[in-house]
Amino acid sequence: MSDLLLKNIALLIDADNTTPTGIDPVLTVLAELGQVNIRRAYGNWAKRNLANWSTISNRYGIRPQQQFDLTKGKNATDMAMTIDAIDLLYQGKVDGFGIMSSDSDFTPLVTRLRQDGLTVYGFGSAKTPDAFKAACTRFIDIDALIKQSKADAPDATPAEKASSAPAQIDADLIELLGKAWKAARRDEDGFAPLNEIGQIAGNRSSFDVRNYGFERLIELFRELTQFEVVMRNDQPFVRRLR
């Protein structure tokens, strides 16, 4: 077994600001980092809007963390989740985190975790504030994950398959990839290793191809008319055309 699979990952869920439907695809993504041995969901389980979490928690081995609303308008759940994350950090037994939330209040927490060299994957809606997205090692649109998971299912309907079509590529993404290509080692023909471009792009942003409906970086580049992809000894190389 590789060292990667031995790493201990903690998944902390802000149940008030995410959906239980995303648990399965989120756990699949976190398997890239290691074993998700710590799974906790935080919320006031007396609330009706959290009722769907009960079945999900049992199915996926998630430990519910009860937090009562002690003061109206104050979110004690965020504080409890943050305290637990810092406790796990200082125990030194966790190698990475998954944070399921669309709440920008967790931005300082993610920043602190990353300062200790830990990988932090964020999972939230597309409307999650940019500050939280940028703080994460990777930020993944949970709605895009859910759509892709449904489209990949054997019993997927035509509508579900169509819903997972690649998202529109914006100018900001082209600029990010262009800067990453420019910063990578290029040969005399302008080709750079795809894995190096991806690493540079990941260091500059919380960019993840799954937010655009792709499973792999090479699939994204093959859709972009601004770049050319060639294979050399089974390794992909990329050159910018315009």
On the CB side of 91, CA atoms within 13 Å amount to 12
Backbone angles phi, psi at 220, to 5 degrees: -65, -50
Q: What CATH number does the domain containing 55 carry? A: 3.40.50.1010
Tell me which of 163, 189, 204 is where a domain ends: 163
Q: Are residues 78 and 154 in the same domain?
A: yes
Q: Of 71-80, 124-133, 230-239, which range is least confident? A: 71-80
**Which of the residue ranges 85-89, 140-144, 196-200, 209-213 has the most confident prediction, judged by mean pLDDT?**
85-89
Q: Are residues 122 and 55 in the same domain?
A: yes
Query: Into how many domains does the chain fold?
Result: 2
Q: Are residues 144 and 200 in the same domain?
A: no
Between CA 31 and CA 15 the distance in angstroms is 21
Q: Are residues 158 and 177 in the same domain?
A: no
Alpha carbon 225 to its chain's center? 26
Q: Are residues 157 and 183 in the same domain?
A: no
Q: Can you give the residue range of the structural domain that contains 123?
A: 3-163
**Which of the residue ranges 1-5, 19-23, 47-51 has the most confident prediction, judged by mean pLDDT?**
19-23
> What average pLDDT does this structure show over 140-166?
73
Q: Are residues 219 and 124 in the same domain?
A: no
Q: What CATH number does the domain containing 201 carry? A: 3.30.420.610
> What average pLDDT does this structure show over 189-218?
89
pLDDT for the residue 167: 63
Task: State pLDDT tens for residues 171-181.
Answer: 888 999 999 99
pLDDT for the residue 1: 39
Confidence of residue 2 (pLDDT cuts 50, 70, 90): very low
Confidence of residue 160 (pLDDT cuts 50, 70, 90): low
Q: Of 28-37, 98-107, 151-160, 220-229, which range is least confident? A: 151-160
Q: Are residues 122 and 188 in the same domain?
A: no
pLDDT for the residue 94: 95
Q: Are residues 137 and 212 in the same domain?
A: no
pLDDT for the residue 113: 97
Tell me which of 163, 189, 222 is where a domain ends: 163
Residue 239, sorted as left (phi over 0), alpha (psi -120 to 50) or beta, turns out to be beta
**Residues above pLDDT 70, as percent of the chain:** 88
Q: Is the separation of the CB atoms in 133 and 156 below 8 Å? A: no
Q: Are residues 60 and 44 in the same domain?
A: yes
Confidence of residue 207 (pLDDT cuts 50, 70, 90): confident
The yes-or-no verdict on residue 208 having pLDDT over 70 is yes
Q: Are residues 37 and 102 in the same domain?
A: yes
pLDDT for the residue 69: 67
Q: What is the pTM of this model?
A: 0.81
pLDDT for the residue 4: 45
Q: Are residues 15 and 131 in the same domain?
A: yes
